[in-house]
Structure 1
């Protein structure tokens, strides 16, 4: 019943939004249109400010503030309320739709039931996620389950600790930390053929999300050391370096190189964007071959992922419908400084990145990036590195045995197209499953 109620709310949001728009158009059509135009101007001016220095940045920021002030100062204040209500209905519709259909649209995976670990070991990074290991008392909870806790200390090597745990007889290795730590311990598990448990104690934990774990309930993942479901998932290689999520190059990879990024993400990004995407920015020397065989000499964003991401926005890098397809996902975004920056911002804000003219995506088992630069800024599962080109990527199909708590449905549900989502919601509303046909 909760899912049916959520489906009803999601479906009702559309006619409610249409009713709000019609009502506003009848009462004050010119002001509604003017309000939307002013908001568009404010967004465009704000982005212009971000990608410029000096006087240009100041003037664009003033223009953005003036446009916002003009929106609020419209004689009929209901225009602002209408825009706020439409935004709220959109958010509510998306949230309730996910609650209603995500379970049924979760891709099926091949799993097998396994018994408790004979000798489980859980490695923990106490600094990840702002101290989640201590906050959720993972060390004590691991001991209660008969799992050996191994807490990383200053100056210790995480890989060596994982190798030692296997040498001491561990048949299941777990990692409580961020995705970079997950990849390192997963690589050790892969090399020794032992099972792996992901405990989402980092900041983002995309790997845990796509495994279907609840990132807000960190201790729940420890149940995978008991009776559990085991499946095989892919890993990916950059040279000899394993990653579980993605490798980024270009704008994002350059921003995260800054030592101030982790403590001041927004400020650092604002300071660097003019030199990366501004009118005088030189662009990024990233050379690769497209799937049609044509050669690309530059791109502003390149994302190479372990499995294909469904991207509608660059925020958070989306989700993967499958972790066992045996392919790399490749996304490239190329921005024409003179005319594309505003279009990119609009596509990003609207969640329609795939429709941006500089966007390309495809899958491959192997991929290579070259450059005339001696070192390239690279973000590997969120960790900032500088590596010499060429960079060679390849997929490792089914390389890792992963255990998840018994009863977990599978991976994350990929976003659906509007027509498909509407049909799925209608099915759930009438008490029928929304799962896609194979």
Structure 2
């Protein structure tokens, strides 16, 4: 067997129970729901032949359910799942559990044992393998305690950290404090409780870098590293975005989305899968065929709209800046529409090619409407992956040539 699928991060939500009610929690109010063993089994069955760089065990508060974590670990070993490292994020306000520490020790031995095997059966180029493992540093199993400088549970946090240090004396295990300041949140993701408590969390004047409107609907898959000029992978499907399997089986992009949004609009439910997890992810991505740079403009515009709606001033932005972002957002919406239509007409082109072609079609449309070249270049700079030289020399003739070339390529591939 060869590993021909790579996942940057898979998160499994063990529970929606939580023993705290943080104002900034993006998940929202805790729920009376734990993941079932059937969902754990199904998730791992769908990961056969997949290399998972990072497995994130999430919640709710995951350490409220040590028995479920131990079951997950048992099944990872039993089903021989290929994982490089594991992270658990906890508030630390939990009881110690000896059985869980034993399970973690077993998993650490397993993760070390499979590393040579992974190196022998991957389909990546030698240079890719070295890059991946060169970027792997630190521990195999990591527990991150989000303490947020709360005085109310510092003693319990100390207790849980000391317990794991005593029970797991292994160089590949780590437990550390996140040590964020309770009053200094950095970037606030306006989901769940944070969206409801924005008046408490945000000042009357903010920078756009202070807030984040969550929108993970974009194309985050690649084959043979289409997003790189280097032949990074050999026939490998690569998921670059964290995907989460929630406690009820709903799958969603990222790991910060509120329970309400996850359940109202999931990608799919893991229990619906029949060895077709990657096929379903690919289908979702083609339903949202925009690149990350275009998505960033959309997110920035959403943040501006949020601030306007709630009478929050945005620092260092003039009316002209606002208008510029609005125009770029309109262009992104048009680019996405073109990408969807173009994929249906030219189904043999991969996403990188559709992305390039759609941006080119949009640019040609702008030329034909006599939109100034300067704006077209601004769009290409902020919303596409075009290089600087191409942007500087963009012309209607160049656009027509590329459109013709990619159309012919689709026909030859058919």
Which structure would you say has the larger RCO, counting Cα contacts within 8 Å and 6 or more residues apart?
1
Mark yes or no: TM-score above 0.5: no
| TM range, smaller chain | under 0.3
Question: Which has more strand, going by share of residues?
Answer: 1
TM-score, normalization by structure 1:
0.22
TM-score, normalization by structure 2:
0.22
Question: Which has more helix, going by share of residues?
Answer: 2
